[in-house]
């Protein structure tokens, strides 16, 4: 079975500082990994996805993530945080053959950006 673990349910950074949100995956088959963002009372918006084409994936709003098979990680980063980045971030995996479009989500990381 596939799963993802997000380390740190809450992360706080200063505006302009580096954002690092951690995600580790567990999968018996090559995984497809996704990062989503959720603003209050909204649905999920796709930030980026890893589909084995390249290990460094660039997404929207200046976010990127690097797939590291040796560390089973797919951490999300942004060089300089902005107040508008404050939201909840979810890592998700899809890897089970025949599992259709089912996504398995991590527990989420709430990002707070302070002045």
Please report, as ranges, the residues that interact with other proteins according to CB under 8 A: 32, 34, 36, 41-46, 49, 51, 90, 94-95, 99-108
> Please, which residue, 15 or 64, has the CB nearer to other proteins?
64
Q: Shortest Cβ distance from residue 32 to other proteins (Å)?
A: 4
Q: Shortest Cβ distance from residue 77 to other proteins (Å)?
A: 21
The answer for residues whose C-beta is within 8 angstroms of residue 41's C-beta and 6 or more apart is: none
| Cα(83)–Cα(97) distance, integer angstroms | 39
Q: Shortest Cβ distance from residue 85 to other proteins (Å)?
A: 19
DSSP percent split of the chain into helix, strand, coil, nearest 5: 10, 50, 40
């Amino acid at each position: 079975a596939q799963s993802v673990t997000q380390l740190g349910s809450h992360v706080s950074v200063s505006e302009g500082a580096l954002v690092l949100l951690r995600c580790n995956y567990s999968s018996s088959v090559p995984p497809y990994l996704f990062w989503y963002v959720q603003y209050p009372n909204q649905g999920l918006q796709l930030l980026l996805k890893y589909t084995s084409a390249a290990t460094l994936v660039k997404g929207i709003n200046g976010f990127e993530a690097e797939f590291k098979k040796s560390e089973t990680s797919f951490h999300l980063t942004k060089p300089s945080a902005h107040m508008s980045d404050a939201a909840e971030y979810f890592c998700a995996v899809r890897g089970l053959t025949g599992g259709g479009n089912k996504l398995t989500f991590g527990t989420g990381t709430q990002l707070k950006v302070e002045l």
